[in-house]
Copies of this chain bind each other. A is one copy, B any other.
Amino acid sequence: MQPAVSLQRNKSAGRPRSTESEAAVIIATAELLKEMPLRDLTIEEIARRAGVGKQTIYKWWKSKSAVALDAFCKAMLTEVEVPDTGSFLEDMVKQLRSVTRFYKSAAGSAFCQFLAEAQSDGEFKRTFLNVFLKPRRDAVRVIWERAIQRNEIAADTDPEIAMDNLYGPLIFRLMSGHGSLSESVTRQIARNAFLGIATEKAHAAYRKRTSER
């Protein structure tokens, strides 16, 4: 999206890209996304709000979705927080709840919009995957890897599928609204995802722990 200028020869003649304009576009887009769904966003309105020529936007971004994704990422400098409680289940619960909280927030609600946009824009789908989704999944995968090392789940567990067992239900509920996402629900989702891949030993430990209550 943005040119990785740093490594580039900066010697090219001519006026360099205006950082003010870029920032103004990003900020205007972020604001607009709080007022309307991505679908209703228009390049024209972004340009108007940012006090920028339309051409400037077309020059640096491929589509309004690209601008929006850029704005979304910029607003999310906060690193992904990966919990490490020592308990796989608790890590999952914490993570799921944290993600849920974010996706339900004003800023995070854009996530579903991006997934929606991806349905009719293959190019954006790939970008979204590479720029946002994959990195985040890579970051949280450690939870499952630690669980394997702790022998809580089988060594041959496919973390990708295991992750979808956790996040899939969340995203489905977010997008269709067919069920709530209360604390209780997220715990059940996490628990099911956990028991679905837990080793026999971890299973037994879980049963023992819950029966004691």
Give Cα A169–Cα B191 distance, bound, in whole angstroms.
Answer: 15
In the complex with contacts A165-B189, A168-B168, A189-B161, A115-B118 CB distance below 8 A: no
Interface centre among A134, A192, A197 (most CB of B within 10 A): A192
User: Is B175 in contact with A189, judged by CB distance below 8 angstroms?
Assistant: no
Interface size on A, residues (CB 8 A): 50
User: Is A116 in contact with B125, judged by CB distance below 8 angstroms?
Assistant: no
User: Is A125 in contact with B177, judged by CB distance below 8 angstroms?
Assistant: yes
Q: Looking at the assembled complex, report how far the CB atom of A32 sits from the nearest CB atom of chain B, in whole angstroms.
A: 13
User: Is A192 in contact with B40, judged by CB distance below 8 angstroms?
Assistant: no
> Is A185 interfacial (CB-CB < 8 Å)?
yes
User: Across the interface, which residues of B come within 8 angstroms of A133, CB to CB?
Assistant: 176, 178
User: Across the interface, which residues of B come within 8 angstroms of A169, CB to CB?
Assistant: 161, 164-165, 168-169
- Residue of B165, B170, B176 touching A118 (CB-CB under 8 A): B176
User: Across the interface, which residues of B come within 8 angstroms of A171, CB to CB?
Assistant: 168, 171-172, 175
User: Across the interface, which residues of B come within 8 angstroms of A179, CB to CB?
Assistant: 160-161, 164
Interface centre among A129, A172, A177 (most CB of B within 10 A): A172
A residues engaging B (CB < 8 A)?
37-40, 112-113, 115-120, 125, 128-129, 133-134, 137, 158, 160-162, 164-165, 167-173, 175-179, 185, 188-189, 191-198, 200, 203, 207
